[in-house]
Structure 1
Amino acid sequence: MRLASISVDLDSLPHYCRIHGLPESMLDDRARSLVHAVAVPRFRELLDGLGAPGTFFVIGEDLESDPAAAVGMRASHKAGIEVASHSHAHDYALTRRGAEAILQDLSRADAAILAATGARPVGFRAPGYTLNADLYAATAALGYRYGSSAFPAAPYYAAKAAVMGALSVLGRPSRSVLDTPRVLLAPRAPYRPDPAQPYRRGEGTVLELPMTVTPALRFPLIGTFATTLPRASLRQLWRTCRRDTLFNFELHGVDVLDASDGIPPELVRQQRDLRVSASQKMARLREVFGWLKADREVVTLRDAAGRLSATV
């Protein structure tokens, strides 16, 4: 049994301003809603063309503040796309807030998703992919079937550390958080975490579905690189993962946006993949989605967790 999942983190543009140390005041109302108003329909078009479902990780406060977000998630749910939780506030420092605050944040996200879609989420992905014992305990307390936060990508970790250091020197520190280096030793394959140290195997009740990285080098096979790497290089990286039981392909809303969609030039300069045209990125994703479907059964992360739970 070889499965694939396509999941999209619906981080709105204010969160990219926070990553890059830019003022959110540069965003007008249209820019703030671009991910839900423009990117979500584009991803639904891609998934419809594939004839397979996907998983949208949505931020609870976006559903509360942006009417287009709630409408889009309701329509996506009705179309068979899984709507899962990406927390309520997408606070990059969520793991540092303490057990009670974490549980409150996730509970608020659950309520917002339930109000928008009529269904309670069963999956969770942490802001900034950062997981710890308190956050894992909250997912267990709320009865999630799975989490998908572990991202054991060494090149990504090193690049993130370098960028955060450079921004600090420039006097505009990032609000992102660098995870513990222990994440680099997390399993690549689905596993049951140790609740006290969730980047290790254990007997936790919430199954962890790590995002796909290659063997050995642990290069991240995510949307950013799928849309910007030369095709031959991407194809070679894809082949190294052919034996994986689950290919967990993680993307972001900005992976189908570009500068012409109305994104401020200051943000485009920092987020370099926004310089690639949306049509070019969608063509590449359409091709990669085709690779997945030709080689695997493409399912939601919820269904992947259900299928794998008994064997992990």
Structure 2
Amino acid sequence: MTRIASISVDLDSLPHYCRIHGLPESLLDARARSLVHQVAVPRFRELWDALGVPGTFFAIGEDLESDPVAAGMRAAHEAGIEVASHSHAHDYALTRRGPDAILADLRRADDAILQATGARPVGFRAPGYTLNADLYAATQALGYQYGSSAFPAAPYYAAKAAVMGALALVGRPSRSVLDTPRVLLAPRAPYRPDPANPYRRGTGSVLELPMAVTPALRFPFIGTFATTLPLRSLRGAWRACRRDPFFNFELHGVDVLDATDGIPGELVRQQRDLRVGAARKLERLREIFGWLRSECDVVTLRDAARRLSASV
């Protein structure tokens, strides 16, 4: 059976990184706030076009209230890029807001994407990768074909807990949310969740496509690490995943930005990967995307879900 791979990009703008690091959003001028859509999106599109592979953008609904952002997503959709939902407000505490508020947020995101692109999204990724029964129920109610929120990466979970703890100690608490440890036991391969506990297998209607992590150690293969770790380490992680029938490579807009793009120094000091030059990041991603293209059929997450649905 031909292996399948997907490349997706979460379009979290810089204010969300200020919230993660407990920094005031007043640090950001209008240009900095628009960098992900005005600079990173074109860079990803150029990269995908050059390699002849498709991709998926996870857009935040409230960002589409800006005409230039909406136009950019419309152009991406018309070029064959999937535009999926990353919620409306990208509230890290979305799972704590209750069923009605969760459903309302996702519905607003759907409407915004539909208005911008002319197509209703069929996929969803939770803010901060945090999933629970109420959020999964909302994805079922809205008829999504797939979700891609499960991130069972032990090293990432431990690092996130440590950073959040350190920020709290210095009086600059993060607005991010630490997920339940149950996520660490979630399947690595695509699965149908138990609606009552979506990190377990069950019979849910919305297929879950977890982000790529290696067997055993469950080391995360995501953009932050792909653009900063030694190439030898990445090759080892890629080889460890070669038996997986599906490889879900997840990135963020900032993975192709650097300090020279106009990002405030206070944020660069906290977000270490921004110290790596964008040209170097793009070259690294070009190589990794080449690995995927040479060994896999690279498709959007929407198409991956359609192909995997019958066998999961």
Q: Same fold (TM over 0.5)?
A: yes
Partner residue in 2 for 1:57:
58
Looking at structure 1, the residues matched to 51 and 88 of structure 2 have their Cα atoms a distance apart, in angstroms, of 30
How far has the Cα of 1:156 moved from its partner? 0.2
Looking at structure 2, the residues matched to 69 and 215 of structure 1 have their Cα atoms a distance apart, in angstroms, of 38
Secondary structure of 2:160's partner? helix
Secondary structure of 2:249's partner? strand
Partner residue in 1 for 2:234:
234
- Listed as ranges, the matches of 1:105-184 within 5 Å are 105-184=105-184
Partner residue in 1 for 2:203:
203
Looking at structure 1, the residues matched to 69 and 288 of structure 2 have their Cα atoms a distance apart, in angstroms, of 26
Q: Give the unaligned 5+ runs of structure 2.
A: none
Deviations 1:260-296 (A, max 9, x none): 0000000000000000000000000000000000000
Secondary structure of 1:143's partner? coil
Partner residue in 1 for 2:9:
8
Verify: 1:188 aligned to 2:184, yes or no. Answer: no
Looking at structure 2, the residues matched to 89 and 55 of structure 1 have their Cα atoms a distance apart, in angstroms, of 19
How far has the Cα of 1:71 moved from its partner? 1.0
Q: Please, what is the CA RMSD of the aligned residues? A: 0.4
Moved over 3 A (4+): none
Partner residue in 1 for 2:100:
100
Q: Give the unaligned 5+ runs of structure 1.
A: none
Partner residue in 1 for 2:37:
36
Secondary structure of 1:74's partner? helix
Looking at structure 2, the residues matched to 20 and 28 of structure 1 have their Cα atoms a distance apart, in angstroms, of 17
Structure 2 residue identity aligned to 1:50: L
Secondary structure of 1:179's partner? coil
Partner residue in 1 for 2:270:
270
| Paired-residue identity, % | 83
- TM-score (normalizing by structure 1): 0.99
- TM-score (normalizing by structure 2): 0.99
Structure 2 residue identity aligned to 1:273: D
Looking at structure 2, the residues matched to 249 and 103 of structure 1 have their Cα atoms a distance apart, in angstroms, of 27
Secondary structure of 1:8's partner? strand
Q: How many residues align?
A: 311
Secondary structure of 2:198's partner? strand
Deviations 1:180-218 (A, max 9, x none): 000000000000000000000000000000000000000
